[in-house]
Amino acid sequence: MKASPMVEIRDLRKWFPVKSGFKVKSHLKAVDGVDLEIVKGETLGLVGESGCGKTTIGRTLIKIYQPTGGEFFYRGEGSPEGGIDIFSLSESKMRPFRREIQMV
C-alpha cells in the first residue's frame, strides 16, 4: 500500500505578465504544469539549469509569488484527511505554515 503524501502539488503554474506600456501583451510561463508528491520521510531536491524555474517553484509554494493556477495540499500532524489547501490560506494563516517549511 502506497503511503499518503505529506505534500501534494498538482498542475502548479506561475505566469508573469509581459507588459507594453500599461497593457498586458502576453505572459511568460515561468512554471507550467508541475506535479510533485512527497511522502513522510522523503527529501526532495529540485535540480536543473539556471533559469529553469526552481526558485520560482519554491517562491510560489510559500506564496511569495501568488500562483497562477494549480493546487498545493499539505497534511501535517493531526490535520483532517485531504490536508490543508495552502493556496487558499490568508496571509495571516500562512505565517505559521512558513515556520514548518523552508527553501534552501
Q: Which residue from 54, 76, 55 is spatially nearest to 8, judged by alpha carbons? A: 76
Question: What is the per-residue pLDDT for 1?
Answer: 58
pLDDT in tens, 5-24: 888 999 999 999 999 999 99
Question: What is the per-residue pLDDT for 95?
Answer: 84
Q: How many C-beta neighbours within 10 Å does residue 37 have?
A: 16
Residue where the block lists cell 493531526: 78
Question: What is the per-residue pLDDT for 78?
Answer: 46
pLDDT in tens, 33-92: 999 998 888 888 899 999 999 999 999 998 999 999 999 998 755 444 567 888 988 988
Domains of the chain listed by start with CATH number:
5-98 (3.40.50.300)
Cα distance between residue 60 and residue 54, in whole Å: 10
